[in-house]
Amino acid sequence: MTFAFRFANGTRRNAYHIKSYSQYTTTATVLRVARATNVIPFTQPPFLQAFSKSPTELSRAFHASPYYTRTRFSKCVPVIGRAASSSRSVYTLRPPRPPRLPQYSEYDRFQSAVPIYRKRIFWAYVGVFGGFFGYYYLSHLEEVPITNRKRFMNVSPKQEEYMTQQAYKEVMSKFGHRILPARHPDSKFVKKVAEKIIKVSPIEHLNWQFHVIASDEKNAFVLPGGKVFVFTGILPVTQNEDGLAAVLGHEIAHQVARHNAEKLSYVKILLWVQILSSFFIDPSLLNRLFLEIGILMPFSRKMEIEADEIGLYLMAQACYDPTEATRLWERMDRLQRLSPPQFLSTHPSHKTRQKKIQEWLPKALQLQEQSDCQHEIDDFAYAIKKLKPQWVSW
């Protein structure tokens, strides 16, 4: 049985040479071998058969191209349409596979890379930014009035005034319809006590405004710029002027120390620290829960404690009894038994406040003695004596 090797385009060759990969990607690469059943067999003359190539030598004509090694070259794979009963067999020649390039994954590349903190240029940038940050931090340090605590402050009074306008509009839109008029007895009572404390404060020139909100909520708060809001629900807890002086002294102390502006400055520092620490640790570790419980809440409690101290000194200088502050927090503790734990709150616990006030009482009483409170007491007693009714005989 004789086989004739032909290309699909009809060209007949006994051997061919693969020159490139792209040359045989079309149908021209298919070799058809026709079995000599329906065609006239091709035979060579006897005198040429001695010089013809054997089938073994003929098969060697399908060798690899010089561009690829012999192991890279794909062998001919027979595609048999039918079994031995098939009249024709078609042989195809697979194109050679492209050379395998060295596999280099992204993971290996990042693992083999030098960490950024081991590069000199990184520490050069750290030194430059660290020096600039240190100079900026030290140049914005100031002392808190009365307590003389050092703190970072980079919020100007103009920025604080802008924040006041926005916050004041929001509060008035929420509680404006429940604010008592100035002629109301509760408004007069709050204003009377507040004016005495403001006179002894270091920022008497500020445009103070006091609003009383008709609500059962036992609370009071202050906005930047001297905007103080007092809920009527806390007035029965204070019981007297001294108790109200402890509440108002605390709120006025927040404005004296500019705690709102200090908190904003602290958040700015925290933001820069978070950005720089992202080069060393995973930023997802610094999540919101960690920032709230671990950093922001302790900082808020620290400012509340400082406001208690400043407020206690102010009410003592205003000739109010500072010992009433401890009794006030005792009453608040009885009313709010179900308050959250201290570490989950922005305010210290009532027990902690009582303990701190007991530590500050000696200094508060000393400030009260140094003030002109005794003169005011004598004047008050003299005025009461003059109001004593006199009996007239008819």
Q: What residues are annotated to the active site?
A: 251
Query: Nearest 10 degrees: CA dihedral of 156, 157, 162, 166?
Result: 110
Query: Nearest 10 degrees: CA dihedral of 158, 162, 168, 174?
Result: -160
Of 249, 143, 148, the closest CA to residue 200 belongs to 249
What tokens were used for 105? 């994954």
Q: Which residues pair with 223 in a beta bridge?
A: 227
List helix spans (H) across the chain: 46-49, 55-59, 106-112, 120-139, 157-175, 185-199, 235-238, 241-257, 259-277, 288-291, 297-317, 324-335, 350-370, 373-386
Contact 346, 301 (CB under 8 A): yes
Question: What is the chain's Cα-based Rg?
Answer: 47
Contact 95, 64 (CB under 8 A): no
